[in-house]
Amino acid sequence: MGHYRGRVTEIRFDLNRHLEALIACPSRAVPHAGQYLLASDPDDPSASLGSSLFLAGQTVQGFWAVPSMPVAWKPGTTLNLLGPLGHGFNLPANVQRLGLVGLGYTLARLMPVIQHFTATQGSMTLFSDLPLPEAPAALEAYPLASLVDALDWPDFMAFDLPLERLSELRDILKLAGTRGLPCPAQALVTSPMPCAGMAQCGACALPARRGWKLVCEDGPVFDLQSLKW
């Protein structure tokens, strides 16, 4: 983790009209898939502690950042950056059939995982009802409802999971009782992180098998089996 200076160089809308920003910054500042950066505009005294920026794609000068950022940010806006923060995705090297599940409002945070896995000889399938951004040809995509019948296919799963949907997950997967997934899984849990762990505000707390965890510090990527759902 370190303090860095960055600069917004481009702003674009995704397929659902959410803002994404291209941030120029030192390569050491670029978060891994699932990690985040705390970014703030030093010239905006009304800004809160900062915005949590996730990696959507790496570029030679920095990275494409999601989710929606302050509308005041424009190309040329300079940013104070703190990070990378939190734990990102860490796929085992022997994964051959990767299942991806997008339950949030964007697939952008899963794209770095998809790009990384494309370099392997494995197969990957995405289950989501969101429109698919430009993706490698090797990626197959199906509606979320198809996942229930395909649960035995992946040997590893990666979720983008808003915190408020954690309690629905068992219904979405149609898993009865305490039955778990047939394979290991990691979930990028998204939640408001107003203090990013700086003030222990507790706003991002989520239930775990043992007590509670904080999305900002213990995640945002969790072993799904370690959570209570």
Give 183 or 203: the residue with its C-beta nearer to ligand FES: 203
β-sheet with 156-162: strand ranges across: 139-142, 123-128, 97-102, 156-162, 185-190, 221-223
Interaction site with ligand FES (CB under 6 A): 193-197, 199-204, 214, 216
Q: Least Å distance between CB 25 and ligand FES?
A: 22
Query: Which of 148, 186, 1 minimizes the C-alpha distance to 86?
Result: 1
Output the DSSP codes for 35-93: -EEEEE-TT-TT--S-EEEEEEEE-SSEEEEES---TT--TT-EEEEEEEESB-----T
Q: Least Å distance between CB 189 and ligand FES?
A: 11
**Is residue 6 a contact partner of residue 25, using CB atoms and an 8 Å limit?**
yes
Give 115 or 226: the residue with its C-beta nearer to ligand FES: 226
Give 129 or 164: the residue with its C-beta nearer to ligand FES: 164
State the number of CA atoms in the 13 A half-sphere of 165 facing the CB.
16
Q: Least Å distance between CB 211 and ligand FES?
A: 14
Give 24 or 204: the residue with its C-beta nearer to ligand FES: 204
Q: Least Å distance between CB 216 and ligand FES?
A: 3
Cα separation values, 224 from 159, 163, 185, 189, Å: 9, 12, 6, 10
Q: Least Å distance between CB 202 and ligand FES?
A: 5
Give 130 or 195: the residue with its C-beta nearer to ligand FES: 195
